[in-house]
Amino acid sequence: MGAVDPIRPVAPPLTGRVILTQQWQRVSILHWRVPSDRIARFFPAGTRPDEFDGSSWVGLVAFWMARFRVVPGPALPYIGDFPETNVRLYTVDDNGRRGVLFRSLEASRALTVLGARTFMNVPYQWARMSLDRVGDTLDYRSTRLTGARPSSHIVVRPSSDPVEHDTLADFLTARWGMHTVIGGRTRFVPNDHETWPLRRASLTSLDDELVAAAGIPVAGPPESVLYSPGVHARFAMPLPPVR
């Protein structure tokens, strides 16, 4: 196994041809600690749980996806703008590349769900969703329209307090790729975006079934609650299989 890449809040140069661009807006980012041995079974060949402060972490991330574009085409109207909520884990592969492993991604556009599942093998789920501003809070709601129909309701109050020089926040958000299985092989899909403009946030209320539905039971409030007005992200072609 190679040396593990350092955590870098600034994206490294993007490797390969850009295939997708998108904006992530009004992003609320919740995290709990989770023992690595409880989640190791979810990780594809050639990857393992990445750890910070002696444990791995599970994230519940809710936001508005905007201006989704398949390069070189234009931004897609309607199907490229929608709420999303995802459950994610953190990976490191045998080449030392740190990334994200998605356990589920709720989205309200059926065509987008189908396309992402077909071409990138990421576990998008069709859901009825909304994102509303209520006073000084953001209210995220989601109910999956298939299977057991797990739901999520998150209310977050962002502050004006910026997050700076926070090594945990960097570990959780400065992720420059995802791991997925394409054609039976583990692939790394690199991405980049500007440095996250993060703020502290408080959790007003949480009624979530998505993390448990992903097979990752957690207890109590999240240890980390962050907010960002958003970033513009680019994804490149999947790199060769993990060796």
Residues contacting residue 53 through CB under 8 Å, at least 6 positions apart: 168
Tokens 């740190």 belong to residue: 98
Q: What is the pLDDT of residue 79?
A: 65
Residue 120 backbone dihedrals phi, psi, to 5 degrees? -120, -5
Where are the chain's structural domains?
18-236
What is the CA angle 229-100-31, rounded to 5? Answer: 60
Positions in the chain whose pLDDT score sits under 70? 1, 74-76, 78-79, 113, 115-116
Q: What is the pLDDT of residue 68?
A: 82
Nearest to 203 by CA among 186, 189, 233, 223: 223
33, 62, 66, 117, 199 from 231: Cα distances, Å: 25, 14, 10, 23, 13
For the stretch 68-88, what's the b/e string if a residue is b when 16 or more beta carbons lie within 10 angstroms of its beta carbon?
A: bbeeeeeebeeebbbbbbbbb
Give per-residue pLDDT as tens, 119-177.
778 999 999 999 999 999 999 999 999 999 999 999 999 999 999 999 999 999 999 99
**18-236 classified as CATH 2.10.25.10:** no
Q: What is the pLDDT of residue 114?
A: 74
Q: Which amino acid is at 175?
A: R
Q: How far apart are CA 221 and CA 225, in angstroms?
A: 9
Q: What is the pLDDT of residue 80?
A: 72
Asked if 96 and 5 touch (Cβ cutoff 8 Å), the reply is yes
Count other C-beta atoms under 10 Å from residue 221's C-beta: 10
What are the tokens at 90?
């953190």
Q: What is the pLDDT of residue 73?
A: 75
Q: How far apart are CA 191 and CA 70, in angstroms?
A: 14
Q: What is the pLDDT of residue 69?
A: 83
Whether a cis peptide bond, with omega within 30° of 0, leads into 72 is yes
Q: How far apart are CA 188 and CA 100, in angstroms?
A: 9
Q: What is the pLDDT of residue 240?
A: 86
Asked if 2 and 193 touch (Cβ cutoff 8 Å), the reply is no
Q: What is the pLDDT of residue 195?
A: 97
What are the tokens at 82?
């929608």
